[in-house]
Chain A
Amino acid sequence: MEKKKNKKVFLKVVIIGDSGVGKTSLIHRYTSTRFLQDFKPTIGAEFSNKEVVINGKTVVAQIWDTAGQERYQSLGISFYRGADCCGIVFDRSDHSSFENLDTWKNAFLKHGAPKEEGTFPFLVIGNKSDLDDGSLVKERDAQQWCADNGNLEYIETSAKDNTSVEEAFTKLIEKGMEREKVNLVELPDRMSQKNKTVNLQRDVAKDVNRKPQKKKCC
């Protein structure tokens, strides 16, 4: 057991959603524990790492931040590949960003082409909860959407107030790790898929880590 703790798990986390919903702010809040009032729109994609310990395992979350404007999707598609989990963010004060959730989900499934379309771990994140003037997207509606779209999990956050940001990412990472376990059986196939975007060394690290895991879950 002692040995296992030192091995790192690498997870690819992709954050998508409409422009201006606060994807970059959330990631920034999580990775550097700060909130920056004035952000630049993300052009193309950004990337950051965060190392966390979850359930006694050291996990390196490789978080991909993507551009929100729809036309940037044609550039961002390669970043979706090999993702272990995906956070879809909407702005609770902007109903159209909520409307677009299924566009994003479909785009991700299509271009990321994960093996398990029906069960791929998504987390729906309703951001900007701090702007409550009574007209926010209601939790009930968001939960309903999630229920209708494959029982996804939903969480409300505020990057500004630092409400539930940590929780959201922890959940995402946990989901990603669950998926890792489930996919153990299909390892060779998955590896080839992953290699497209993630560097080899990491996969080796993952591979090493998987073996003890396997014992545990079987």
Chain B
Amino acid sequence: METHSPFSEEDATSKSLHEHDDAKSENGRDSNPQETKDHIANHKYCVEHQAAQSLDVGVNRRLHSVCNKESQHFIFNQELDLGEYSVESSQKKYKKNEKKLIKILQPNRIKTLSKSERKFISGYLMSKKTNSITEEQRTKLWLVGSGAETLLKDNPGYYHNLLDKVKGYPNPCFSQIHLDLHRTFSTDESFYTKENENTLKRVLSAYVLRNPTIGYCQGLNFIAAVLITQLSEEQAFWVLCQVIESILPTDYFNLMTGVIIDQRVFEELISEYHPDVHKHFKKHEFQMGSLTTQWFVCIFANTLKLNLLKEQFSTLSIFDVWDFTITLGCSGIFKIALSVIGYLKSDILKIKDQGDLFMLFRECAERLPPFKDLNKFLKKFEITPNRIKNLRIAFKEDAYEEFAERHYKQTQSKILRSKTDISSGLEETLKEKFLRKIYLYNGISKLRSQQDWPKDILENFDEEVVAGNSCDTNWPICLYDFFYQNKIQRHFAFKNKKKINIIEHHFGEPSLHADSGEELQFTTVKLEEDKIDSDNGNEIDFDSEGDTEPNKLDGLLLERNIHLCNQENFEEKFKLLFGNKNSEFFIEALQSMYQDSGDISYSEKCNRFISVCSMLAEKVPLYEKGNISKDFFDNLKELEYAQRKSK
């Protein structure tokens, strides 16, 4: 139990005292007990004096402390329990703080929280004396804490505009979302309703259109699910955007390099704050990453239970965790994760088997105490956003290097494979396979695969399929951009007010097309120099004082890719992507596709497409065109060489 407010200056004193106390008890508590006790008592005295409490109380407690034969730490904790003497004055203080909170989180507030407000709220949340925040306050906290309220106000209609576009936009992410809807808190009866499922689907689908680079990543379903229990659908969408784009660092959900880096940061923090656990893990060669990844990816949503119907939590509540995280940003997650490890420490140190360790972590939801009981841990960790940022930078290079090497190999073999698939064959089976890949891309593979197809693939095309192959320029990605999967991985894209920001090679990959990038990526917007260092466009600066408003967005889609099908030099670019042999293949497939459709609205696009393909079929040497970079061909040759060699 605590006596003094964690929000005022006394907090700092108590913290340093606490640390001092810890240090003492670690350094051998019997060395000079009397002196230590006096020392603490003196400190205590000062604190109390500052808190304007009576001298009598101080003396009383000092006596109490001297009498206590337990460890210093224990004495300290005992002492904090002021008992009846100060109830009145501290209650006054808490009343005052509650009033302050009400004022900060007033219903009509739009402005994002300032740094001092964040500090106050985080202290409030941790304090054992104050009441938990109300549902209304929580809603407000999530909105103004994440900066979503501003975005909501500045972008009316944006969300519904996205939803309109979802209809008919073919994307493989949708089938993944569909797959996961039934697996999101599905055993929790208080959550799992048809209505919630539909809301969840809409929110996640809208995000796919907002940022196709990320699209949908498993884990986001849990995040969105938690959000819709507290917020309206549109609010939930905006907070989701802010969680992905502002609170969590770059690339948590695309290539997930952000997660890899954060795992290293976390391990570093573990070795600092829980060296015994770190040693234990090293000794038994347990992998920290495999255990804690989901804490970070889902902000504990996958680990803890929702328990919507319960009023009082006897275990750690996901909502409390989120209040804290939204208030403090990423450092909040790290603090909680460290606290959880601290709480489970005695159990962890007993475990010698990895399976048992997984079991412990899997079932920790049942064991963890309510949030406020974690506060003795939470306060120990002095983790500022800046600290996290610096650690991330320190681990970034390593992680990227490792990742890039791996990824480079992977991309290379992927391209090689798809090239083999396409060019080696006009045989029927390969053709079917390739066309099915187009379907896959278009997100209707499931639909087709359920029927026993394709016996004669070309006869089976119906309008729906053709519709799936027509492109809408409102969509964030052009459907004729078949190599999207290969090239998009090198970008992290988001849109803020005026421009689309694309962080190219944000993980430093030795790119296949480093120099000819311009042609191949079909993007006209380059990364602004000053944006390189900041991770994100509408980032909230959790570490700076003053107004931190996220940048405003305009009500447009995130147009990551310029539409290939609408571009002047579509032909060249298309040619570049597919090469001669592949184009022959395309002509055949597409001609049949469009002939069978009989739909006039597609004819124009179709003709254009076919004329391109015909041009390609003339086998004009590609390098005769001036705008094609030599590097590209060098790479191509390399690939072809490797291909031949492998045969």
Binding site for B on A (CB under 8 A): 19-20, 38-41, 43-49, 62, 67-69, 71-72, 74-75, 77-79, 93-96, 99, 106-107, 110-111, 134-135, 195, 197-201
Contacts and interface: CB of A to CB of B under 8 A. Distances in A.
> Which of A43, A78, A198, A200 has most chain B Cβ within 10 Å?
A43
A62 B354 CA distance: 9
Given A49-B353, A110-B413, A199-B285, A41 B221 contact: yes
B289 A78 contact: yes
A38 B183 contact: yes
B180 A41 contact: yes
Nearest to B215: A71
A79 B294 CA distance: 15
Contact of B354 (A19, A40, A47): A47
> Which of B184, B218, B289, B297 has most chain A Cβ within 10 Å?
B218
17 contacts: A19-B180, A20-B180, A40-B184, A43-B294, A43-B298, A44-B290, A47-B290, A62-B355, A74-B257, A74-B260, A75-B293, A78-B290, A79-B287, A95-B445, A95-B449, A96-B440, A110-B409
A135 to B, nearest CB: 6
B340 to A, nearest CB: 16
Contacts of A134: 452
B354 A111 contact: no
B256 A75 contact: yes
A149 to B, nearest CB: 14
Contacts of B176: 19, 69
Contact of A79 (B218, B290, B413, B450): B290
B406 A40 contact: no
- Measured as residues with beta carbon below 8 angstroms from the partner, the interface class of chain B is 35 or more
B406 A77 contact: yes
B162 interface: no
Contact of A199 (B255, B298, B354, B362): B354
B15 interface: no
Shortest Cβ-Cβ A-B pairs, 8 listed:
A49-B355, A44-B293, A95-B449, A38-B186, A43-B294, A20-B179, A47-B358, A199-B285
A94 B187 contact: no
Given A40-B183, A110-B409, A195-B285, A99 B217 contact: no
B287 A72 contact: no
A110 B413 CA distance: 10
Nearest to B409: A110
Contacts of B452: 134-135
Contacts of A198: 285
Interface of B: 176, 179-180, 182-184, 186-187, 217-219, 221, 253-257, 259-260, 284-287, 289-290, 293-294, 297-298, 302, 352-355, 358-359, 362, 403, 406-407, 409-410, 413, 417, 433, 436, 440, 445-446, 449-452
Contact of A200 (B179, B257, B285, B410): B285
Nearest to A73: B410
A101 to B, nearest CB: 12
A75 B289 contact: yes
A96 B449 contact: yes
> Which of A71, A79, A99 has most chain B Cβ within 10 Å?
A71
Contact of A38 (B187, B293, B355): B187
Given A69-B217, A134-B452, 4 more contacts: A40-B184, A79-B287, A107-B410, A135-B452
Contacts of B254: 71
B418 to A, nearest CB: 11
Contacts of A38: 182-183, 186-187
Contact of B413 (A47, A77, A106): A106
Nearest to A44: B293
B647 to A, nearest CB: 16
Contacts of B362: 46
Contacts of B413: 106, 110
B358 A48 contact: yes
Contacts of B257: 74
A108 to B, nearest CB: 12
B218 A99 contact: no
B302 A40 contact: yes
A48 B289 contact: no
A67 B218 contact: yes
Contacts of B287: 78-79, 197
A71 B218 CA distance: 9
Contacts of A49: 353-355
B284 A199 contact: yes
Contacts of B450: 93, 135
